[in-house]
Structure 1
Amino acid sequence: MGWKGTVRSVGSAIRAAERDAKRRERELQQRNKQYEKMQELEQAAYEVDVFNNHIDVIQSLHKECSPRIDWNQIALSNPPIEPRKSNDNEEKARLISDNYKPGVFDRLFKREEKKRELLSKKIVEATKSDESLYKSKIKNWEKEKEECKEAVEIAKALLDGKPEAKIEAINNLQPFSEISNLGSSLSVDVYDNGILEATVKAHGTEIVPSEIKSLLKSGKLSVKNMPKGQFNEIYQDYVCSCALRVGNELFSAIPDKLVLVTVIDTLLNSQTGHLEETPILSVAISRTTIESLNLETIDPSDSLHNFKHNMCFKRTKGFEPVERIDPEGLDYT
């Protein structure tokens, strides 16, 4: 499959591989259109469903991922075979013409000559149709041949660990769209030793709700401020789930065995009294290790103990600034 064809197929697979939480989110968005028509208790139940679903979504980002691309197989791809010119339409038209035998009425009304002229015209049209079809096939073949060449080149460059190939593959595949939709932004860099680091800006206060919505026994809506400890725990799970998802998406797009993911957010600097963007999690994710985990059942925060990471978190205070992991001390291979 060509490079652009690979991108299209992966994109289709991403769209097809929605987890339950995302499907539920879409259903709730549809119900939102009828919100104004709902009775008070129906509105209350709907708002609680939306709240619970949002919490589920932001804590389960790690549960899905784009399918892996086999760059070794793509590197061995053979170019498409040049199409042969076919004369099928012309041959059919000639066969009809050769088998034409004027009937009684054709002879009676002297239509034989006109019929033969019409059949000759059909042969010319069929010949042009064959030529047009052949040109179209050649055009598609040349495009596929170029895409195959491009795919093989980028696959070999990725397998050789070339930084520009990694960036190109990620930019083309764009595997982080869901995370971006949730309010996080992301940038990617490659260090001199070949290790790739993705930096994620989390926007935690915009993602994690500050209030809890629930139903009273009467069925009416209850809205309360979310306790700080609960907010911090949900935010920690969101950050860790996001980091795991980013790492896994990188492994789906490039053949690396180790990547760095650093999550940053705005925290208060107690020395200056100013809000500053600072790392709150830095983790070196191993392909072998993450592939061995059951991502459906893990606790995203607890799972980080499987990887080298820097994170300082307390339930009562939340995240504190940490240092990025130094890529120079990591084994890229």
Structure 2
Amino acid sequence: MKPVYFPFTYITEPVARQLSQLFGPAIVYLPMSSGFPESMRQLQADGCIDLRVPCPDDGDRLMRSCREFKSWGEQHYGDGASLKKAFRDGFYNQSFTAQIQSDILSYDKSSEVIPDPLFSARLFLLMAQELDAQQNDLDQELALSMAAERELFARMNGREKPLDAPGEQAKNKDYGAVMTASRLSAWSYLLGKDAPESCFLVTTSRSTVNQMMETFHDMRQVSVFEDISCDLGQPQRDELTQYLEALSQTQWPDAAPRVCQGLSSATNGDRINLSFYILPGMSPQAISARFSRTGDTIQLSDQIQKNTLICLVEG
């Protein structure tokens, strides 16, 4: 089953490589075919991710709108304003919704603005991609600085190594905790324009899972694997794949498959926690229609699956 990474259009190298080791290359949707971080291009070249642009590409218009939004932020917040503050206080502000349609998305000020929810969603995702990449860079710099401080402190106290492992603060940060509902809504437009091979969604954001459970009341957690290794042996990987395929086709909860037992015995590699959830009888197009409120439908390339599976990766 091919995983679909959500609700982000940016993925870090450690996460991409972890998912690739566990499930194979993850699908990552992009709002446009250019302008994304070079690290993601390299991850695709390495076979770790599958970058997709589900919508017709009008990158020039999208980039122009993004620049105009940043200019709007500078006008409202001054020269010292960050894109994050302008984005947070602007894009999601009710009064700004009309302004972004009339002042940014419209280039003929004398004509009536035609709402374009898909374009607005892609503009949102483009800026969210930039913000997430910037935040990851800052977090990595902070983690390195903290690691250097711990190492210096350890040497001053006669220890060869610091007590705490570096990078935990950046590693465990939930970027999806910021504007979760808006991320899901915007990302769902891209999902609604694609035909994924499987109904298997993967996220690193617990806030996203919580939002999904608030939206879909029949969503259930079906299994948790704690402290497992990403570096699974082939028998363990095969067992996990078989479990997910059975779960995707089961008549829940009457015929729930047996939970695979081999993952907890893994001893090598980076260790993480996996939590699996099921949306019985729910297809990706239904999820897209619910969050984007479009009512659009797509055709799955594989109609065998009955359920959508969601995996939360933490650690």
Q: TM-score, normalised by structure 2?
A: 0.28
Q: TM-score, normalised by structure 1?
A: 0.27
| Structure with a larger share of its residues in helix | 1
Question: If you compute each CA radius of gyration, which structure gives the higher value, 1 or 2?
Answer: 1
